[in-house]
Amino acid sequence: MKGFIAGRSGDKQGGLDAIGEIEKKWLAATDLNDIAFICHPLGDLDSHFAYFNRATDHHTLRCMYVMYCRLLENGRDDPRYEAVVQKLRGTYLRTWAISSETAEGWPERPRAEA
């Protein structure tokens, strides 16, 4: 979050330093999400979407960031946003082996007994 706040406040170097710390302490592919999260307020939407795509390829994308995070809202007008969402849907469709008969390609939710 430190890198995101730095980027939002105009401290580009602080954001880049935070990315450097993540890369130095690299734990797993989930760190791709953190870097994407920092790239957004730095104004580097190319890297922002590239890191989200890489996270999707590794099946580690934090969907809540992409779909609902208000802090990333202005990136949803970019055509690359829809491409990430479609890729995400395709990834989960293959992973869950969902049939085309399921509504909109997503698994049906279990219904509570009445």
Q: Does position 65 have pLDDT exceeding 80, yes or no?
A: no
Question: Is 0.75 topped by the overall pTM?
Answer: no
**Residue located via tokens 């949803």:** 76
The domain spans of the chain are 2-105
Averaged pLDDT, 41-52 = 91
Q: pLDDT band for position 98 (50/70/90)?
A: very low
Q: Does position 101 have pLDDT exceeding 80, yes or no?
A: no
Please check whether residue 47 is in contact with residue 69, taking contact to mean a CB–CB distance below 8 angstroms.
no
